[in-house]
């Protein structure tokens, strides 16, 4: 049963610290999405990649967030420096990327910045 | 502007009491309408994709339908384990991003 995996599942850090979240997409999927979910805003798209190339990162605060895909099996989302307003659940999703294609979500990383 | 509105925000039902959740959408060139289920502390779990008006899909007690302006998720004789937040999203022809609704929180009481 292929699944998207994310690490860590939970992260508590202090303001100003660097946070790195990792995602392993489903093998064979060529598109990876990073989302943030909060009670107030719901699901927000931060960035997405196709064939490891960034296609859109307009949803990310550029001064502190960065997203990369070092290889086809790993996507990373970094926050540096972190701020309390970054506290949220961060989801990674993967898919085949075509029109009407389904996105499959990981379990999320729950981030709390104190 | 592409937009998705889900109603109601929350719905409480007795076990066995059938009902429907609504997803109204505005999108340029619908490529797909997606329903997901999300349990507390978990990621959204894919349920259905609908592509064109008139299409219907079923899975156990759930049935999704689609018109040119909205989709319904019908829940027949629900059980407590159907309690979750149900999310709707659409993909238009402007790009491959999904436009998400805020979700409907469904609570089924035994």
> What tens digit of pLDDT does each residue of A24-71 get?
999 999 999 999 999 988 999 999 999 999 988 888 988 999 999 999
- Chain centroid to Cα B30, Å, comes to 16
A–B CB contacts, 8 A cutoff, strictly below = 50
Query: CA B53, CA A22: separation in Å to the nearest integer?
Result: 38
Q: Is the pLDDT of residue A99 over 80?
A: no
Q: Which residue of A has its CA nearest to B42?
A: A107
- The answer to whether A110 touches A12, Cβ cutoff 8 Å, is no
Could A56 and B34 be called an inter-chain contact, meaning their C-beta atoms sit closer than 8 Å? Answer: no
Query: CA B47, CA B65: separation in Å to the nearest integer?
Result: 13
Q: Tell me what the mean pLDDT of segment B2-18 comes to.
A: 96
Could B96 and A102 be called an inter-chain contact, meaning their C-beta atoms sit closer than 8 Å? Answer: no
SS3 category, B80: helix
- The answer to whether B96 touches B109, Cβ cutoff 8 Å, is no
Alpha-carbon distance A12 to nearest alpha carbon in chain B (angstroms)? 16
Query: What does the block give as tokens for B110?
Result: 């035994």
> Residue A92: what are its φ and ψ, rounded to 5°?
-110, 140
- pLDDT at position B15 is 97
Could A100 and B103 be called an inter-chain contact, meaning their C-beta atoms sit closer than 8 Å? Answer: no
Q: Give CB contacts under 8 A, 24+ apart, made by B56-61.
A: none
Q: What is the pLDDT of residues B43-102, one digit of tens each?
A: 999 999 999 999 999 999 999 999 999 999 999 999 999 999 999 999 988 777 899 999
Query: CA B82, CA B78: separation in Å to the nearest integer?
Result: 6
Q: Tell me what the mean pLDDT of segment B31-44 comes to.
A: 96
Which alpha helices (DSSP H) does B8-72 contain, by range? Answer: none
Q: Which position has the higher pLDDT, B12 or B1?
A: B12
Query: Which residue has 């469904």 as its token pair?
Result: B106
Residue A101 carries which DSSP code?
Answer: P
Q: Give CB contacts under 8 A, 24+ apart, made by A56-62.
A: A56/B95, A56/B97, A60/A34
Could B91 and A31 be called an inter-chain contact, meaning their C-beta atoms sit closer than 8 Å? Answer: no
Enumerate the residues of chain A whose CB falls inside 8 A of the CB of residue B34. Answer: 102-103
Instruction: Give the nearest partner residue to B43 out of A42, A45, A105, using CB atoms.
Output: A105
Q: Which residue of A has its CA nearest to B31?
A: A100
Enumerate the residues of chain A whose CB falls inside 8 A of the CB of residue B96. Answer: 31, 48, 55, 97-99
Residue B82 carries which DSSP code?
Answer: G
Residue A103 carries which DSSP code?
Answer: P
3-state secondary structure string, A49-97? EECCEEEECCCCCCCCEEEEEEECCEEEEEECCCCHHHCEEEEEEEECC
Q: Is the pLDDT of residue B2 over 90?
A: no
To the nearest 10°, the Cα dihedral for B4, B8, B11, B15?
A: -70
Query: Which residue has 């999203």 as its token pair?
Result: B89
Q: Tell me which residue of A30, A84, A100, A92 sits closest to B55, measured CA to CA.
A: A100
């Amino acid at each position: 049963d292929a699944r998207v995996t994310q690490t860590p599942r939970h992260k508590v850090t202090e303001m100003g610290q660097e946070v790195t979240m990792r995602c392993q997409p489903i093998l064979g999927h060529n598109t990876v999405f990073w989302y943030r979910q909060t009670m107030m805003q719901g699901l927000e798209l931060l960035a997405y990649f196709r064939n490891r190339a960034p296609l859109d990162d307009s949803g990310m605060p550029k001064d502190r967030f960065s997203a990369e895909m070092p290889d086809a099996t790993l996507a990373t989302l970094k926050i540096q420096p972190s701020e309390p307003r970054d506290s949220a659940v961060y989801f990674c999703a993967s898919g085949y990327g075509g029109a009407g294609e389904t996105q499959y979500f990981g379990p999320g990383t729950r981030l709390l910045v104190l | 502007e592409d937009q998705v509105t889900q109603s109601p925000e929350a719905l409480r039902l007795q076990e066995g009491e059938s009902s429907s959740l609504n997803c109204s959408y505005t999108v340029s060139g619908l490529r797909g309408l997606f329903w997901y289920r999300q349990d507390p502390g978990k990621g959204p779990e894919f349920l259905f994709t609908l592509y064109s008006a008139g299409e219907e899909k079923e899975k156990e007690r759930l049935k999704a339908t689609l018109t040119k302006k909205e989709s319904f998720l019908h829940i027949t004789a629900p059980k407590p384990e159907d309690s979750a937040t149900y999310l709707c999203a659409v993909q238009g022809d402007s790009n491959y991003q999904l436009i998400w609704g805020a979700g409907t929180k469904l609570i089924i009481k035994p």
